[in-house]
Amino acid sequence: MKTRYWESILKHFEKEVSTDRFALRPHCGRNRYDGGYTRWFPQSVHKRIVGGEESRVAEWPWLVSLQLKALDTEVRWVEGFEHPFKRFPGAMDELKKMSVDQLKAAIAQLRMRLKEYAPDQLAELDIDEHSEQEMTRKEGHMCGGALISPYWILSAKHCFQKKHEPALSLDPNRWIAVLGEHHLKEPERHQTEYEIAKIIIYPDEPEEVNDPSILLNDIALIKLARPAVLDEFVQIACLPYPEEAFREDQLCSVAGWGLTEDEGVMSFIPQHVHIPLVPNSQCKSIYDTAPTSAVNITPSVLCAGDRNGKDSCQYDSGGPLLCRSAVDNQRVITGIVSYGLRCASAYPGIYTRVPHYIDWIRNIINNN
């Protein structure tokens, strides 16, 4: 089963590989700091992170920045616009820190929520439609992703759904994938922009359609318009074997350009943090005390985080959670940053459990 699966994935590399189980994943999961990584390639190939540390250049060479293109060059992205699962800061001292544009964006978001849930009260807000339109004009980094083959990126479904954020889109022409990215605000010789050919999300369940606060099967695949060029700055992340299990309390890693503190600002340089896996039963018990019923701890998700202020946060969505495999000690994508109740709180972060979706990933790649 494992051999057939990896042979199908490795067809995208157009190379023969050993069927020995310890040689199935030598093509992935290595960075320039691991040492000897070039031997695996031909000679021509050279929810947010809170409480983490700054990553080195190419420390996570499979990490992708998924960025929205500008709809209107005269309207620039304003940091502070609401992102999926980011909560509007209600405290007066926080409001005083916000710019006029940020306040307009927040008001526009409130207006849209009122239109959905209490349209009869909308007239009480004397606000024109202009700020609401601005909500769809964001640009720049929105989500993370992981390169899993030269053509394919693994990310989160909610990164592309308007019901979570009006600016988001399933239209591949609205997006650009930046590989080899390090500093979001500085052009770098090792970064390359790739057009996107397809965005494929896991279909919504009926309860998701009827209630936007419910998020299930938070996984998406993005196909590049041309194959990525692999080098020391751009590499492939390993996928797990079907239903591969990982140890409870195992320490795993997550990286991204997300907020460095809850309600804080984005990091222009990726941060990473090492956090333990939390058993689903324990995670469910913790969330049973939460002031919300929208959290679903199902077998298709996993939880990770600690109570020492370490977590993923907004703009890290879609990025990979990587754990060491007990099979071959490779770092593999165990989870996808999905959502949580605030950042680095007493509630663990919730991640899409990637081994649960390996058959879906394989079918999408093989048929597209």
Q: Which of 149, 218, 253, 338 is catalytic?
A: 218
Q: Which of 55, 149, 312, 317 is catalytic?
A: 317
DSSP state of 50: B
Q: Which amino acid is at 241?
A: Y
Q: Is residue 317 flagged as an active site residue?
A: yes
Take residue 316 and report the two structure tokens written for it. Answer: 């890290």
Q: 3-state class of 176 per DSSP? A: strand
- The span from the CA of 231 to the CA of 364, in Å, is 26
Q: Which residues pair with 68 in a beta bridge?
A: 140, 175
DSSP3 helix / strand / coil % (the chain, rounded to 5): 25, 20, 55
Q: Of 149, 145, 146, give the one whose Cα is nearest residue 25.
A: 149
Tell me the C-alpha to C-alpha distance, in Å, between residue 17 and each of 2, 25, 63, 68, 115.
13, 9, 25, 37, 56
Q: Which of 27, 141, 158, 272 is catalytic?
A: 158
Catalogue the active-site residues.
158, 218, 317
